[in-house]
Amino acid sequence: MKALIICEESQTVCKALRKRGHEAYSNDIIKCSGGHPEWHIQGHCFEAMFKQRFDFLGAHPPCTYLANSGVRWLYNPDGTRNEDRWEKMETAATFFKTILNTVKSIGKGYVENPIMHKYALEIIGERPTQIIQPWQFGHPETKATCLWVVGLPPLKPTNIVEGREQRIWKLPPSPDRAKLRSKTYEGIGEAISNQWT
């Protein structure tokens, strides 16, 4: 199977797919941190998606303007709309919807994001197929993750563990905070590779 995982600089899912013998590539506008630049297509995702044919498309688009945790920034302290933030949210939601439609055209894959606020969901036009947690896949942490699944069954938990630490949510401010918060857990990457290929 030939697979592309877009917006994935960490290469977590890409490496799990490679381990199972698939021709998988990661893609992001930045360099990869997963240690395999030979499997990384650096550049805009639309260029990567349409330069060649893929059998499976996974996507982890940016959540900055879509996540429910940031919905308060859509309004100014005085209650008026933050027009700049609304415009960025609408652009991000449209980008997400375009990626989801591309996954549908391929017929097999997923799009991942945290819990979204209602304004983003209204633009996207559909709710996620399922919500998973790291503790269902061997990591004793909480981080609700939504999956819009296309042409595949819902992902099944593989290793339910004790512990419900909010490590990601508690990360202190740093230049790498956004990158660290967006990384896919290895247990989830393995489950995607094992169950969906």
pLDDT at 178: 53
Residues 6 or more apart in contact with residue 113 via CB below 8 angstroms: 60, 61, 63, 66, 67, 96, 128, 145, 146
List the 23-28 sheet strands across, edge first: 40-42, 23-28, 2-6, 56-59, 109-114, 145-150, 130-132
Any idea what the CATH number is for the domain that residue 27 is in? 3.40.50.150
pTM of full prediction above 0.85: yes
State how many domains the chain has: 1
pLDDT at 80: 96
pLDDT 10s digits, 131-186? 999 999 999 988 899 999 999 999 999 999 987 666 655 545 656 545 445 578 99
pLDDT at 78: 95
Which tokens sit at 172?
Answer: 């202190």
82 vs 86: CA distance, rounded Å: 6
Three-class DSSP category at 145 = strand
By the 8 A CB rule, do 4 and 17 touch? no
Q: Which residues pair with 95 in a beta bridge?
A: none
Which tokens sit at 145?
Answer: 């993750």
C-alpha pair distances (Å), 46 with each of 4, 6, 20, 163, 181: 11, 9, 26, 39, 24
**Runs of H (alpha helix) within the chain:** 12-19, 45-51, 83-106, 118-124, 177-182, 186-196
What are the 10-residue block averages of pLDDT along the chain, 197 residues in total?
96 97 97 96 93 95 93 94 97 97 97 96 97 95 94 97 68 53 84 95
**Pair type for strands 23-28 and 2-6:** parallel
CA 17 to chain centre: 16
135 vs 157: CA distance, rounded Å: 9
* Domain housing 35: 2-196
